[in-house]
Amino acid sequence: MTIEMKTNYGKIDVSKEVVAVIAGGAAIDCYGIVGMASQKQLKDGITDLLGKENLGRGVIIRELEDDEIHIDMYIIVSYGTKISEVAHNVQSKVKYQLEQMLGLKVDSVNIFVQGVRVTNP
Amino acid sequence: MTIKIIEGEKFAHMLIEGANNLSNNAKIIDALNVFPVPDGDTGTNLNLTITSGVKEVKGQSTEHVGKVAGAFAKGLLMGARGNSGVILSQLFRGFSKSVEGKETINAKDLSKAFEFGVEMAYKAVMKPVEGTILTVAKDSAKKAVTFAKKK
């Protein structure tokens, strides 16, 4: 369950969990995101009960045969924002952050808008 | 001569002039761009966003401040580009909600609208990152409120 990168000196293995946390952390920095939608209810539920911060929530990393990396992000956005633009911002931010922190080239960042939150002031 | 009240026409003018000012300085803002992705397009994005807002304002001539602000907010929302564009559209969404139904506004209304806009903008993000346009708007609104109270 690791993502492998080869360098001249050897290889670097990064666990999928780490990639998910970095992607999630990058996403919640984006304006318009109010939350992530859990895809692993049991795991995320227990983490919530323990009161831990859970940046990897709602992020699924898929690795295909020929080293292609795809990231699926399940987000909840704020009502009244331009959702297409928010989603686009998340894509570029996540791609940039992973390249910066891990030197990881991502093939695709797919956004699933799972919810929209209406806040009445 | 001091201006105590802003009418719809003046308000529309303010928005248009503000947008022109932004367009002229877009290059400088581009250079400031470091977050979330330092690709140097904030000025361009903001320019596109505000141009879309102004287009909406120009499309309808009205004497009503609330309606002008509403049109501006709608234009910004539809044309929002980039992180900063989305933030700008939220700031003015709150602003227009606050002045909704007001034909003219005074200093107090204006400062209140600024504050409300900031409040709205902060609600639309899980983890506000300080040092963005949000912080600038927050501090400007705070200053506007204290200033309006003094006069």
pLDDT value for A74: 94
Residue A74 identity (one-letter amino acid): Y
Copy the structure tokens of residue B74: 């709608």
Q: Which of these, A15, A29, A6, lies nearest to A93 by C-alpha position?
A: A29
Lowest mean pLDDT segment, chosen from A110-119, B32-41, B48-57, B131-140: B32-41
Query: Which band of pLDDT confidence, cut at 50, 70 and 90, is reported for residue A23?
Result: very high
Tokens 């501090």 appear where?
B139
Contacts of A30 in chain B (CB under 8 A): 36, 83, 125
More confident of the two residues B131 and B35: B131
pLDDT value for B1: 58
pLDDT value for A1: 64
Copy the structure tokens of residue A43: 């795991």
For A8-113, where are the alpha helices, taking DSSP H only? 16-28, 41-49, 83-102
8 Å CB contact of B125 and A93:
no
The stretch A20-40 carries a mean pLDDT of: 90
What distances in angstroms separate CA A6 from CA A16, A18, A67, A94, one per listed residue?
16, 18, 12, 22
> For residues A32 and A113, what is the distance between their CA atoms, to the nearest angstrom?
12
The stretch B61-74 carries a mean pLDDT of: 86
**3-class secondary-structure state, position A113:** strand
ipTM comes to 0.81
8 Å CB contact of A82 and B127:
no
> For residues B41 and B24, what is the distance between their CA atoms, to the nearest angstrom?
15
8 Å CB contact of B125 and A82:
no
Q: What is the pTM of this model?
A: 0.85
Query: Which band of pLDDT confidence, cut at 50, 70 and 90, is reported for residue A104?
Result: confident
Is the pLDDT at A2 greater than 90, yes or no? Answer: no
8 Å CB contact of B86 and A34:
no
pLDDT value for B32: 78
Is the pLDDT at B61 greater than 80, yes or no? Answer: no
> For residues B127 and A28, what is the distance between their CA atoms, to the nearest angstrom?
6
8 Å CB contact of B86 and A92:
no
**Which of A28, A36, A55, A82 best tests the B interface by mutation, with the highest count of B CBs <10 A?**
A82
**Which of A77, A79, A83, A85 best tests the B interface by mutation, with the highest count of B CBs <10 A?**
A85
pLDDT value for A120: 66
Q: What is the mean pLDDT of chain A?
A: 88
